[in-house]
Each structure stands twice: as C-alpha cells, then as structure tokens.
Structure 1
C-alpha cells in the first residue's frame, strides 16, 4: 500500500473506483483538456484517455457534425461522487470560526473512509456539455477513423475541483472551498488554488489534488462510448431494427479487477483500443 507517495497505478485505481460508482470516467489530471467529440484510446496502465482527434475539428466529418453542435445543460451548484466504501458525515471541524472562511464556504463537507481504498471527486458549479445523443451518433457509425475507438460524448467542466484517493486506512476527511479569505499558514491544513478562492483540506493522508480558477479551466469527469460490436444471431433469426441509442455502448474498464494498489494480474503495458 502507498501512503503519501503516488503509485504507478494510482490514476487507474482512482478512475476505476469513480467509474464503478458513477459509470463516468474520472480525469486524473483535470487541467488536461478533454472536449466533447474527442476520440482515441484508453491507456490500460494508467486508465487515462489518449486523444487522437475530434469529430468537430476533423474536416472529413464537417458535413456530418455541422447540424449537431454540442449541447449545454444547466449547471449544478456542486457535484460529488464517492466510491461505495466512502460515506458523507457531519462536517467535523469545530469550532469553524477558528478557520477563516470555512463557515461561509459555498462547498464543504466531511467524508468517512474505511480501511479499503476509497475515492472522492467534488466539483464546484460543474457545467455539463454533451453530444446530441440520437441522430449524430447514428451518422458516425460508418466513419472509418472511429472504428474501435472511444468517443467522448459528455464532459463535466468546472472552475474548481478536488479529488482524493485514500491511503487505505480509516479516516474522516474534510474539504471546503474558501472564497477570497486566505487560511493562516500556522494552521495545520493544506491549501491550493488561486487568490480568489482556495481549497481547505484536513486529515488527508492519501493522494489529494485540487485547484480553483475564475473560469471553467478543468474537466474532472467525462463519458465515453464506442460503436457496439454486432452480437451473434441464429441463422433463422431476423435482424432487429437498430435504435439510435443501441448502436453505441458505454465504455467499460479495459482491465481485470484491481487490487488496493491498482494492480491487476497478468498485466501487459499496452494501449487498449480493440
């Protein structure tokens, strides 16, 4: 088990835990830009998405995508995802008055982690952008470059995020997004972010990442689909009519079950794109 240090497979373990909890893909490096319409592969070793192109930037697909631009959904105040061995508990910092800005923080909470590795992702005011799910996906079926590739169909971008992969011990972690009130350096806390806002965290012994900005600079979460491979049919069975949403399927993890350190048996360092 690793403590404060980062294991080779930390990103894959975090991504795997968040995916199991939400069916969405976590971005281990949220400042790394991921856009709706990106297509590419998944690095099996790290779990991270490797972009090869974008359907909205490819001249060969210009006519197909012209009438189907990305759609934007309404924003949420906060969006959090935690693995099944993590639970929210009462905010446990008392008195909060001793920590400037915590009482007024727009985002704050405490989470109890058990003795198995746990993952937590918190996004402030996330904006959901997605590909129109019906007509466009159907038109993309016969595009050669998309064969056996993953397509980013949805992203969640935000101006502030925090993510945490626990060290595998029981602990209660507290987080708060402070607005324009610096935390005194004498306090036993860690802070990350810009002058306008900063993340406060308490009791984190695992891997903690955070950032904040005035604009939507981060993409901590996204969805992937791939063209569904035809199933086996009996010779006398008629081919069922294909529905738009049935032509693509949600991507699943291209690795075997992972242990607490994110390792799998018989692992080979390769890109999974088949």
Structure 2
C-alpha cells in the first residue's frame, strides 16, 4: 500500500503548506529538541539502518548517498554485523515543548463509530507558541549492533563528513502534527475498521484496516496507516567524531567505546523562529 493523503488525514494548512521547507525543518527541529532523534517529514520515504548521507539544511530532510550493508567498500565489514530488531512497543509518542497531553473527552452528542475501542486516542493542548507532535502505532526499533561495527567504520573514506543512520523506528501507522501557533486542543484516534464486503471470515483471508480520525487540527496534520511496517517516522544519526582539543582534566578517549568514536548529529542550522526561518542576531555594540 502506498502513501495516500486521505482527506481525513490532513487538515487545512495554516501558514505552512506541504511543500514548504520551513514546515519540515521546523517540525524536525522541535522533535529533535524533545527527543534527540530525527523526525522524517515524509515517513513513507523509508530510511534504513546503515544509510548514510547528509541533511538538507533548508528542509531538514535526510539525503541518502549509500548504505554500508550494500556498498562494495563496506559490505564485507558490515554484513558480519547485521542490524538487530527490538521488540515492538504498543505506541511511541513525542511532543515538543509547549504541548501537553490532557484527558480525552468528546461531547455527549458526538457519535464516532469505533472510538471507544480505538487503539490510540488522546487530546493534546498546544499553546500560542508553535508545537509538534509525533505518534507511532506499534513501532519497532532496528539498530546497528553496539560495540561491534561502528569502530570498524571509522577509517572508511566514504563515511568521512557523512551522517550514518544507526537506528530507525518503523511502524504500520503514524500521525504527525505541526501546530498553527494558536491555542488549540487537538484530538486524535486510530480506529479499527473491517473492510467491506465482510462475507469472507477474517480468519480465512480478510483483514482489519485502521484509519486516523482527527479533530481541531488547524495546523498541518499528516497521517497514514497500513498493515505492514511501511513508514519510518523517526531515526538516529551519528557521525565520526572529529579530533579536538582535550581539557587538561579530561580523560583520554578509549577506542573500545563507540561513543568515543562517533557522536550524535546536531541540527546544521541556527536557532529557528516560529516560522521555521533561521534567526538573525545583530552584534551588540558596547560604548
């Protein structure tokens, strides 16, 4: 199943639109500040463990150049240490600053089939400052084995000044939201539905589908659902640590520890304003 922007899955954008570099960069920046992980603005565009490349500074999106498990120069080393997959979680939710989860409630007159049995449902309150929310259903983490492979890749020329995806989070359903910068209470739910016709018993070949329901999404809302792990909403990037000066009281780094050889990748842009633009700071003048 490919990625479909269902009318139920996308609200009318406010200041942002789907093609705006500022929208993706602002969302990614907010999620990174809350989790130290990179959000994928386009989750159907899968990112795999071992992918390496760069970050587009204007959009914040990852640009793949290769994969250590596929490239001739690294495949022999990498395939001896295949990626590992952790057990899936029920849900994984990340919300930025100025966002808080509140009790989910609907008007007594509201009638939404399946809302009571929804696997995910919640209400998030956003303040007048722009906020971001990422929700994943049954995500699972795939990662490069620690203490085994990374230290063998430090001297690979192709990885110099590149970013390596050391962990990815995939899921069969996700929703992401970038608020409009106004006070609002957003409600989300992942509803299970049985496709019609239902003449064939589910145990024989039918399947339960899921779809996202949303309310009060005045900002930018994207979501999708599938029966497969088709989406990669979140990932971790590392880069080879550049040699630097040590403080006199700092311990010498140990080459047995991956953390001393590789470091997390930080945002390659200056602090962003509410609209996702890099802030310009004037130099202070002192008399």
Q: TM-score, normalised by structure 2?
A: 0.84
- The SS at the match of 2:60 is coil
Alignment-derived partner of residue 160 in structure 2: 147
Whether 1:73 and 2:86 are equivalent positions in the alignment is yes
Contact 1:228 1:248 in 2 (8 A): yes
Which residue of 112, 131, 139 corresponds with 1:126?
139
Alignment-derived partner of residue 129 in structure 2: 116
CA RMSD between the two structures:
2.2
Whether 1:53 and 2:60 are equivalent positions in the alignment is no
Which residue of 123, 142, 165 corresponds with 2:178?
165
Structure 1: 5+ residue runs without aligned partners? Answer: 183-193, 267-274
| Alpha-carbon offset, residue 181 of structure 1 | 6.0
Alignment-derived partner of residue 245 in structure 1: 259
| Alpha-carbon offset, residue 77 of structure 1 | 0.5
Distance in 2 (CA, whole Å) between partners of 1:149 and 1:164 is 29
Contact 2:253 2:260 in 1 (8 A): no
The C-alpha deviation readout for 1:101-158, integer Å capped at 9, x for no partner, is 1111011100000000000000000010000121200000000000000000000000
- The SS at the match of 1:31 is coil
| Alpha-carbon offset, residue 62 of structure 1 | 2.0
Contact 1:108 1:176 in 2 (8 A): yes
Change in CA separation of 1:55 and 1:232 when aligned onto 2, cut-off 3 Å: same
Contact 1:77 1:125 in 2 (8 A): yes
Task: Report how many aligned residue pairs link the two structures.
Answer: 254
| Alpha-carbon offset, residue 246 of structure 1 | 1.1
Distance in 1 (CA, whole Å) between partners of 2:157 and 2:109 is 57
Structure 2: 5+ residue runs without aligned partners? Answer: 1-12, 196-206, 281-287
- The SS at the match of 2:92 is strand
